[in-house]
Structure 1
Amino acid sequence: KECEEEITKYTTAAQNALKAGNEDDARTLIAKKQQYESNLVSYKKTQELTHANADKMRQMHDKLVNDIETLEARRDAIKATVASAKAQEHINKIVSGGDKAKSSMESFERYEKKAEKMLDAATAEAELNAHTSAASTLADKYTSNGSDASVEGELAAMKAKLGL
């Protein structure tokens, strides 16, 4: 805008110099005006380039923002996929752990049955020993060759001696 004002100013001054009959001053003023016109063309080209660069920068910015949003969406999708995979792995471990638990339960049941058999065998043996002990005790009573009778005889002798 300033450049255009200077061009207008020097054009008017050159015209006034010609009207006054001073061609040399008019030439100097026209030369100065032409410098401003040349500067104006250069400024307009610079402005156009700057505007074009600003448009390109804006487009690049918009593209980068769009790319960032796309990458963030992909990152979120990848995170969700990883979380899903980890959850599936956890479920797989639980399921395989269930198989191990089943195997452990079967093993436990086998040991329980084995322990019950051992207890049953020990109980049967104890019962057999109890019957054997009672019979053995009876047999001892009648086969003691009168050792109990000798005790009874000695007890009667003591009573007689003491006068009881």
Structure 2
Amino acid sequence: MDEDTQSTMLVQTPLHLQEVIQTWQTTCTAMPEATQVLLKRCPGTSVPEFRAYYQDHHAKLVLPWCKANGVTYYAQIHGPLKWTTCNPDPNIKLDDWDAAAEMVFPPGFQLEEMAEREYYEKVVLPDEKKFLLDEARRHMVVVAAGSVEGSRVEVIKDGESVLGE
């Protein structure tokens, strides 16, 4: 099986991040370049509070990690979400999800070899617990890039921060 086929299989099958990492480690040498992940807000947080925190605080916080890892595109997609393609998994009900994150990684990017791991673990992950159901990697579902749409807020475009433009 060639690398393109493996990458296509990985992004078309929704999986939790730990399963994705394990699959990539055993079948591929690198992550798919573009991906979307579905996210849930913390219980008790209103939709406007969630959106404001995610967009105005977390986006800025994750920028150093994205830049260090060569992310060329990062957008937040706020709900209500809808499928742009046929639903790849009938078990996924978009009404259960509050947002999606879309990122484009450099060719050959390997999550287990990420730059700024300490920053990610000590700053990004604890912040995710403040507004998401838990750390994103514990509850998110990975879908193919471009699978869902909603209110799109671009954070990085062509490798440069565009937040607030």
How would you bin the TM-score normalised by the shorter chain?
Answer: under 0.3
Task: Calculate the TM-score normalised by the size of structure 2.
Answer: 0.15
User: Which protein has the bigger helix share?
Assistant: 1
User: Which protein has the bigger strand share?
Assistant: 2
Task: Calculate the TM-score normalised by the size of structure 1.
Answer: 0.15
Which structure ranks higher in relative contact order (CA pairs < 8 Å, sequence separation ≥ 6)?
Answer: 2
